[in-house]
Amino acid sequence: MASSWALLLVAVLVATTTHGVAASVVRPPVTPQHNNPPAAGGAFREAPAFRNGDACRPSPSSRVHIAMTLDANYLRGTVAAVFSILQHTACPEDISFHFLAARRLDADAVRATFPYLRSTVHRFDPSRVSARISRSVRSALDQPLNYARIYLADALPRSIRRVIYLDSDLVVVDDVRKLWAVDLGKHRVVAAPEYCHTNFTNYFTDAFWSDANLSATFRRRRRPCYFNTGVMVMDVARWREGGYSRRVEEWMAVQKDEKRIYSLGSLPPFLLVLAGEIMPVDHRWNQHGLGGDNVEGRCRSLHPGPISLLHWSGKGKPWLRLDSRKPCAVDHLWAPYDLYRPAATTAIED
């Protein structure tokens, strides 16, 4: 852990010098305690118990709900994300995690790693969406769990009216309660960082833009902008009331049964329903694209500005690049939150 933290300091110093990025938000994580039972040929070290600070006043109104998926291929990333959230919030006992999982084994691994975590596992049935999925540019984007966020409102108890949805390839380096406190106003269903400088037309095919009836969906709104669905604050009560799951499915049906109108998995149908209608959030809450593009996953550097969340969206995942000993500079910002140890390492430690 110490050597990883040294590399992290170097990476942050380089980023700060080059891009003017605020490094003060990144803190080294608490050292975990010991190994739990092996998972996928190695082991996740058991995380310590995180306790509320003196200023915390637990109440139903102070509880923060976070939803994530549990996928065997991304489990290492999920564990790192959870660890980072607990490490950087002043009131970790006020955080409730909701995991959508297709397999119990993945949920058991998280429970063993975080025995003190307040969490609930909701079973996600892949068959609910598998027949609706069309081929995209990368097979990882075509997995049913990648579409589970569409059905969050159905999976969560009715008593929960708001949730933060987070992807598994990110770490949070600020108090997540600040993101929770975002004002959705009277009508917004989703809040997320919005990127209006991005060429929005690239997210849809020529077949979409050449069809006047289809492309008209964006002419009826304020300027539609790209937003990344890996970090969203969702009013799930409004989602249910507005039938948003069905509306997303309708666009998936166009893609599946009529004509190919996009190529990027679950993102475009979200944009078709919500682009131009979300509540914008400060960009510090999704420093995305650190995994590079969706085809080659080349290294990318940090964008200028303060950072509260680092997101390895794109093909390149930090744990894979670190294991291959070909990491990008930004991957050293993820490494201190990695609780996984390969079998050879855990055998020596035991």
Rounded to whole angstroms, the Cα distance separating 283 from 296 reads: 25
Rounded to whole angstroms, the Cα distance separating 335 from 76 reads: 11
Give me the pLDDT at residue 178, please.
97
Q: Which two tokens stand for residue 325?
A: 């000993």
Nearest to 311 by CA among 205, 195, 223, 182: 195
Q: Which two tokens stand for residue 188?
A: 């917004």
Give me the pLDDT at residue 139, please.
81
Rounded to whole angstroms, the Cα distance separating 168 from 115 reads: 19
Distances (CA, A) of 81 to 166, 324, 336: 9, 21, 11
Residue 279 pLDDT class (50, 70, 90 cuts): very high
Query: 279 exposed, middle or buried (CB, 10 Å; 0-12, 13-18, 19+)?
Result: middle
Give me the pLDDT at residue 19, please.
34
pLDDT digits (tens, 9 = 90+) for 20-69: 333 333 344 555 543 343 344 568 999 999 999 999 988 888 899 999 99
Q: What percent of the chain has a predicted confidence (pLDDT) above 70?
A: 85
Give me the pLDDT at residue 27, please.
42
Rounded to whole angstroms, the Cα distance separating 171 from 156 reads: 23
Q: Which helix (H) or strand (E) holds 279?
A: strand 279-281
**3-state helix, strand and coil shares in percent for the chain, rounded to the nearest 5:** 40, 15, 40
Taking residue 37's Cβ as centre, other Cβ atoms within 10 Å add up to 9
Give me the pLDDT at residue 57, please.
87
**Could you tell me if 131 and 145 are in contact, meaning their C-beta atoms sit under 8 angstroms apart?**
no
Rounded to whole angstroms, the Cα distance separating 189 from 186 reads: 9
Residue 209: pLDDT over 50: yes
- Torsion of the alpha carbons at 148, 154, 160 and 163, rounded to the nearest 10: 20
Mean pLDDT for the stretch of residues 280-297: 94
pLDDT digits (tens, 9 = 90+) for 250-260: 999 999 999 99
**Average pLDDT along the chain:** 87
Mean pLDDT for the stretch of residues 283-304: 93
pLDDT digits (tens, 9 = 90+) for 187-200: 999 999 999 998 99
**Could you tell me if 230 and 285 are in contact, meaning their C-beta atoms sit under 8 angstroms apart?**
no
Rounded to whole angstroms, the Cα distance separating 166 from 176 reads: 11
Distance of CA 15 to the CA centre of its chain: 23
pLDDT digits (tens, 9 = 90+) for 312-330: 999 999 999 999 999 999 9
Give me the pLDDT at residue 40, please.
45
Residue 138: pLDDT over 50: yes
Residue 124: pLDDT over 90: yes
Distances (CA, A) of 79 to 7, 68, 109, 309, 336: 21, 11, 9, 15, 12
Give me the pLDDT at residue 20, please.
32
Give me the pLDDT at residue 15, please.
41
Give me the pLDDT at residue 205, please.
96
Nearest to 171 by CA among 80, 269, 37: 80
Alpha helices (runs of H) in the chain, residue ranges in sequence order: 2-19, 75-88, 104-113, 127-130, 152-155, 177-180, 206-209, 212-215, 236-242, 244-253, 267-274, 318-323, 343-349
When comparing pLDDT for 348 and 160, which is higher?
160
Rounded to whole angstroms, the Cα distance separating 338 from 343 reads: 15
pLDDT digits (tens, 9 = 90+) for 78-120: 999 999 999 999 999 999 999 999 988 889 999 999 999 999 9
Nearest to 75 by CA among 50, 39, 30, 127: 39
Query: 12 exposed, middle or buried (CB, 10 Å; 0-12, 13-18, 19+)?
Result: buried
Mean pLDDT for the stretch of residues 153-161: 95
Mean pLDDT for the stretch of residues 294-310: 93
pLDDT digits (tens, 9 = 90+) for 101-112: 998 888 999 999
When comparing pLDDT for 274 and 8, which is higher?
274
